[in-house]
Amino acid sequence: MLPFHVVTYNDRMEFTLPELEQAINYWRSLRPSTGDECALSPEVNALASVYALMIFHQARSVSLDTLPSATRQLLESWRSRAA
């Protein structure tokens, strides 16, 4: 389980829930659901797992250094394109 904590400001080493939602939507547009079961792409699935844990823990943000490297790379890739 990832450690979550609440922060007031985003120091760019943290991702907020709204940023994570934007990143999920970005990756969904690049890699939409597939098949009859509408399975999520691996990218979206990785981000959705973090999103679910944030909701469960009522976290407003998550630190990049607490995330698996593949998930961190997805978020950093989205952030670089969104900037």
Buried/exposed code over 16-44 (b: 16+ C-beta within 10 A; e: otherwise): bbebbeebbebbbeeeeeeeeeeebeebb
Q: What is the pTM of this model?
A: 0.80
Query: Residue 61: which H helix or E strand, with range?
Result: strand 61-63
Tokens of 30: 């690049």
Q: Domain map of the chain by residue range?
A: 14-82
- The percentage of residues in the chain with a pLDDT greater than 90, rounded to a whole number, is 57
**Quick one: how far is CA 20 from the chain centroid?**
4
**Band of residue 12 on the pLDDT scale cut at 50, 70, 90:** low
Using alpha carbons, select from 69, 20, 70 the residue that is nearest to residue 48. 20
